[in-house]
Chains A and B, each alone.
Chain A
């Protein structure tokens, strides 16, 4: 059922410079790689757990195997296929060349510092990486305080979905999560005082994760996070108290990074992102933005692991500097947010061919005309996929641009192209 409308499109993206490159490409003959990928997509679920990699190869996410495909590539069947092709048989029936599974510590360091351009970020959770990391984290686990401002707890729920490493491993072996309102046993003033004590004991050596936006209007009273000694503690006062002593702050989710839905048009609470809040109050602690509404668990756990490892390896100052060097101009780690969503979209060839879906449930065309914001968004969701890699935003509907600093106002209406 290929009911998508076929149009030749040039200059469809108007003034946007990134999109100009696309406009130039639109109408060009689709390359062989694109056709091969489309063949592979149509064969699903045969290739169920295979994904398209940024270099237009495909790889099996869990095993780290990678196969560059060419126009003539096709699956091989039959008992003799392995013999005739010299390729290895995977359980799902596809044959591929096994790449080196060993990722050395040096490779990992390269990955962290962004110089290993050839590696996909999926490798960050390679078993070898985890071993390397475990070696760096012997001794006491670094304290992490998770503070919730004006948000929905969606980022916390999302990080619970972490698979590689599993969230239980993160909680029990990698960090010491000394404050998290949604999962910690303790409550009330004792919980607040415990966090303060841990902060004093680890001055300069703890991490704060902020979920949700921060407001200092009305004395910060749009978000009260606790009480101790009959004193009301607002999100803004707690951040002002603890953040100057933290090694770094991870602003997870659209709200903490840039204000997000909490600061959208119509909001009256003065909600803002952590970076803006720090700027206003002269707090110099480095902030790493991990936007998304919510962020993918890999983006949060991955960034946390990279930061912890860098600090362990190079000490606080140098280690953090190497993490900051990974950030783009919007404060996001480039390994996760460095690629344009549209350019890595498996339906890009449909865009190039000028085939566009006109109805939400028609999946035979590119979703551009349905309002897809993929061309204006920067994340690796098309490659990484979501929730055990079973699906992702554009495969189901359209991208809503939730990783962008101007989400939601600049990215909506969500179901109209702008």
Chain B
């Protein structure tokens, strides 16, 4: 006899922001899902009329976990508008700040946010209470390692913030990235202190973060075959490797319908039928969009808009970046993939589409990406100079427009700015969580996480642990 029931999880915890998940479960499996972004502030209207240079400070306040990425995207949008190029040393300094924050964000996400989906914490707040049937499967010894690393990771992610602060003043909400480049030329002492801390972080990623991710994956093998979703991927490019922005550590690209496509920003549209915004500009490009909130709109269920690329709902984040670039795995990863998962894999795609687009695949890609960043930070440390200018002076143009793409740790980030009378006239932001956690579009197509939830087992309605697992694997 088939049984249908609705389950609402609100708040979905251990994420950044306010999110509600509503799933319809039939015979122990999710058959429909809706995600609701439950908080609105309205940065688009807050930015209007301000000094364009203030965007790097104001828009950082969108996200306390990835302010570096918002500072970068807003600075790049104004640099495009003003037609200036950041000096070589400024680009390297920015990469070092962004790189350190990637490591901070990925480590925080795996251990302190998603970790408790797999590792059992001590019996005290905030680790208790938890679901009655939490489906935690690690043996006592592995679990103890997990708890130890949870505590150690608190220090390591703090150390990552110190690395950002050495070049950026403080974290969260750094001062060091602004339109024109980086605010300070790093001193020899700062570079040395950064390198010293980096060695600790590097060791942690190689000896702890990567191994435990593979270990946990091997204990939850079925979750490596769960939550496939659309299996689409979008990357807008991050960590420029040359001063012209032609080559990136993760190059832009799109993947859908099982094929690779070049990234073309003109293919992005934003839909609002199911969002609490006025529909008037739904389905347009970001530069032609107006954001007018309407919390009473009938049929709407989220403060998130629904961005689409060439009509497709795209997954973004580390697994998308790694997939689009078919990035190589770390030496330790290759070894562990063979030993623990029984897979011969040199690159991410060797792990298979079905695995990478799964709960554990998304976690594993994030850990592997951390290793890629570690590898490059090492290189940039050799390139940064205490003598090279990091900042290009410029005049705020009377009018103009510019958009910029980068990638926050959690996925694609786009900032668009139009300037008139030296002030911001229109500002649009398309952050990662909008791509992953959006509602349906005007055609009724689910968002990527909504789709990934379909088919996910929920054997016990009072402990819908897999719902949170799917959502958190995206790091929303």
Interface centre among A184, A188, A363 (most CB of B within 10 A): A188
A23 to B328, CA, bound (A): 61
Spot the interface stretch: A116-124, A154-162, A281-289, A348-356: A154-162
Interface string of A377-403 (1 = CB under 8 A from B): 000000000111011110111101010
* CB-CB under 8 A for A221 and B65, given A361-B391, A396-B184: no
Interface status of B135 (Cβ within 8 A of chain A): no
Which residue of B62, B157, B183 is within 8 Å of A152 (Cβ)? B62
Interface status of A415 (Cβ within 8 A of chain B): yes
Main secondary structure of the interface of A (DSSP, over half): loop
Interface status of B351 (Cβ within 8 A of chain A): no
Q: Give the residues in chain A near B46, CB-CB below 8 Å.
A: 261, 264-267
Would A408 and B57 count as touching, CB distance under 8 A?
yes
Interface status of A293 (Cβ within 8 A of chain B): yes
Would B54 and A218 count as touching, CB distance under 8 A?
no
A225 to B19, CA, bound (A): 8
Would A184 and B169 count as touching, CB distance under 8 A?
no
Would B13 and A222 count as touching, CB distance under 8 A?
no
Interface centre among B47, B49, B125, B193 (most CB of A within 10 A): B125
A172 to B150, CA, bound (A): 13
A177 to B12, CA, bound (A): 17
Would A182 and B13 count as touching, CB distance under 8 A?
yes
Q: Give the residues in chain B near A264, CB-CB below 8 Å.
A: 46, 58
CB within 8 Å of B: which A214-230 residues = 218, 221-227, 230
Spot the interface stretch: A8-16, A63-71, A74-82, A163-171: A163-171
Interface status of B27 (Cβ within 8 A of chain A): no
CB within 8 Å of B: which A123-179 residues = 148, 150-158, 160-161, 163, 166-168, 171-172, 176-178
Would B49 and A393 count as touching, CB distance under 8 A?
no
Spot the interface stretch: B174-182, B333-341, B444-452: B174-182
Residue of A nearest to B70 (CB): A152
A412 to B162, CA, bound (A): 27
Q: Give the residues in chain B near A55, CB-CB below 8 Å.
A: none
Would A225 and B18 count as touching, CB distance under 8 A?
yes
In this complex, how many residues of chain A approach chain B with their Cβ under 8 Å: the count is 82
Would A184 and B14 count as touching, CB distance under 8 A?
yes
Interface string of A189-208 (1 = CB under 8 A from B): 11110100000000000000
Interface centre among A178, A189, A222 (most CB of B within 10 A): A222
Interface status of B247 (Cβ within 8 A of chain A): no
Residue of B nearest to A222 (CB): B40
Would A153 and B17 count as touching, CB distance under 8 A?
yes
Q: How large is the interface on B (under 10, 10 to 19, 20 to 34, 35 or more residues)?
A: 35 or more
Would A226 and B10 count as touching, CB distance under 8 A?
yes
Would A158 and B64 count as touching, CB distance under 8 A?
yes
A185 to B47, CA, bound (A): 36
* CB-CB under 8 A for A154 and B61, given A160-B157, A218-B295, A361-B389: yes
Q: Give the residues in chain B near A168, CB-CB below 8 Å.
A: 151, 154
Would A227 and B10 count as touching, CB distance under 8 A?
yes
Would B51 and A157 count as touching, CB distance under 8 A?
no
Interface status of A48 (Cβ within 8 A of chain B): yes
Interface status of A262 (Cβ within 8 A of chain B): yes
Interface status of B296 (Cβ within 8 A of chain A): yes
Q: Give the residues in chain B near A224, CB-CB below 8 Å.
A: 10, 18, 20, 36, 38-39
Would B58 and A396 count as touching, CB distance under 8 A?
no
Residue of A nearest to B292 (CB): A268
Q: Give the residues in chain A near B48, CB-CB below 8 Å.
A: 266
Q: Give the residues in chain B near A265, CB-CB below 8 Å.
A: 46, 49
* CB-CB under 8 A for A184 and B391, given A222-B295, A393-B175: no
Interface status of B172 (Cβ within 8 A of chain A): yes
Would A222 and B172 count as touching, CB distance under 8 A?
no
Which residue of A388, A398, A408, A416 is within 8 Å of B162 (Cβ)? A388
CB within 8 Å of A: which B87-123 residues = 108, 112-113, 116, 121-122
Interface status of A187 (Cβ within 8 A of chain B): yes
Would B41 and A271 count as touching, CB distance under 8 A?
yes
Which residue of B61, B63, B293 is within 8 Å of A268 (Cβ)? B293
Interface status of B227 (Cβ within 8 A of chain A): no
Interface string of B23-40 (1 = CB under 8 A from A): 000000000000010111
Q: Give the residues in chain A near B108, CB-CB below 8 Å.
A: 157, 160
A382 to B161, CA, bound (A): 18
* CB-CB under 8 A for A185 and B116, given A191-B13, A390-B193: yes
Would A363 and B184 count as touching, CB distance under 8 A?
yes
Interface status of B390 (Cβ within 8 A of chain A): yes
Interface status of B185 (Cβ within 8 A of chain A): yes
Interface status of B11 (Cβ within 8 A of chain A): yes
Which residue of B8, B41, B125, B175 is within 8 Å of A397 (Cβ)? B175
Interface status of B42 (Cβ within 8 A of chain A): yes
Q: Give the residues in chain A near B53, CB-CB below 8 Å.
A: 413-415
Which residue of B54, B181, B293 is within 8 Å of A413 (Cβ)? B54
Spot the interface stretch: B126-134, B248-256, B373-381: B126-134
Would A188 and B170 count as touching, CB distance under 8 A?
no
Sorted nearest first, the 4 A-B pairs with minimum C-beta distance are: A154-B64, A396-B169, A45-B189, A387-B165
13 contacts between A and B (CB under 8 A): A154-B64, A157-B108, A168-B151, A186-B128, A191-B13, A224-B20, A360-B180, A386-B171, A387-B162, A391-B168, A391-B169, A392-B170, A412-B54
Could you list 4 further interchain pairs (A-B, Cβ under 8 angstroms) beyond the known A293-B173, A360-B391?
A45-B189, A189-B8, A261-B58, A414-B51
Contact residues of B with A, CB < 8 Å? 8-18, 20, 36, 38-42, 45-51, 53-54, 57-58, 61-65, 67, 108, 112-113, 116, 121-122, 124-131, 151, 154-155, 157-159, 161-162, 164-176, 178, 180-185, 187, 189-190, 192-193, 293, 295-296, 389-391, 393, 464, 468
Contact residues of A with B, CB < 8 Å? 44-45, 48, 148, 150-158, 160-161, 163, 166-168, 171-172, 176-178, 180-192, 194, 218, 221-227, 230, 260-262, 264-269, 271, 293-294, 359-361, 363, 386-388, 390-393, 395-398, 400, 402, 408, 412-416
